[in-house]
Amino acid sequence: MMKEDIPLMFWGVRGTLPVCGKDKVEYGGHTSCASIFSPEGDLIVIDAGSGMKKLADSLVEKAEIKDKIIHILLTHFHLDHVWGLPFFAPLFSDEYTLIFYSDVSSAVVKRHLEKIMSGRLFPVNFSDTPSKKIFKRVSQKGFEIGEAEILSCPLNHPQGCVAYRINSGGGSVVFATDTEHPEKGVDKRLAAFSEGADIFIYDATFTPEDYKSLRKGWGHSTWLAGTEIAMEAKVKDLYLSHFSPDFSDAHIKDILSQAVKEFPRTHAAKEISECSEEEK
C-alpha cells in the first residue's frame, strides 16, 4: 500500500458532470481529480476535473508546495477531466510552475486547454494566466518525478485516454478511469500494467445491467469488470471510481456490497479520502 507519508487524496470521483443533492453527499459530486505527495514533497495531481477547485482550496489553507511546482498528469481531455483547471488558484499566480503531462504533443495540450479558457467560454485566456507552464509528452517507457516512477498505458476510450501507474515510497497506485472492458475476458494489457499494484483505481461508471442497455461502445466499464481485472492483476486493493452522476450514495453502497463478494478488498472512492491503513 502507499505509505502513510504519501497520502492519496480523492478530490472528485464522478464522471460526466458534477452533481449535488442530499443523496450524493457521502461519496461526493465532483468530477475526477486526485493527488499524491511523493516522499520528497512533490505534488502530483491526476486529472483536472471539478474537484480540482477543492484541491486548490486545501493548498491555500495548509500546504507549502515544494519549489512551487505542481505536476499534473492528464489522462485525456474530455470536459469532466479538465474543467476544474480554470478555477485552480495556482494557475493565476506567477509564483507557481505547472508541469502538464499527457500522451499527446505540447502543441495539442495547449490547444485543448486554451479552448476551454478562450473566446466567450471564459473571461481569462489560458495563455494569459501568470503561472509558468511546461508541457511534457509521456511515453510507455516511463519518467520520474523526484524519486517517483510514473508509467502510462493506453486505455479503450473515444479520442484516447491513458492509465498512470505511480511507484513511490515502496508502494504503487494505478489510475485507470475512462476505459471499456473487452467483450470477453479482461483487458490483458491493463492487467499486466497493474500487476501487483497496491491500489488499483478503476472505472465504475456503469453497473453490468446499465452497460448491457445500449451503453456498449461508450468507453466506460463496470464494477464487475473492475473486480475481474483486480483478480487477474493480483492487486491488493481495488477502488471503484468515476461513478455515474445518477448514482446516489445508497446505490454506490449497493454496488460496493456486490463488488466485495467478488473481490473482498474493494472500496468505493470518496472525495477527500485518504487511503490509509486506518481506513481499511
On whether the pTM is more than 0.75, the answer is: yes
Structural domains of the chain ordered from first start = 8-268 (3.60.15.10)
pLDDT for position 127? 95
* Dihedral-angle region of residue 75 (phi above 0 means left; psi in -120 to 50 means alpha; beta otherwise): alpha
Question: What is the per-residue pLDDT across 196-255, written as a single tens digit (0 to 9) for each?
Answer: 999 999 999 999 999 998 788 889 999 999 999 999 999 999 999 999 999 999 999 999
Q: How confident is the prediction for the chain on average, in pLDDT?
A: 92
- Spatial distance between the Cα atoms of 140 and 37, rounded to a whole number of angstroms: 22
List Cβ neighbours of 40 (8 Å cut-off, separation of 6 or more): 66, 146, 147
Confidence of residue 178 (pLDDT cuts 50, 70, 90): very high
Please say whether the beta carbons of 60 and 46 come within 8 A.
Answer: no
pLDDT at 278 over 70: no
pLDDT at 277 over 50: no
75 and 164 Cβ atoms separated by less than 8 Å: yes
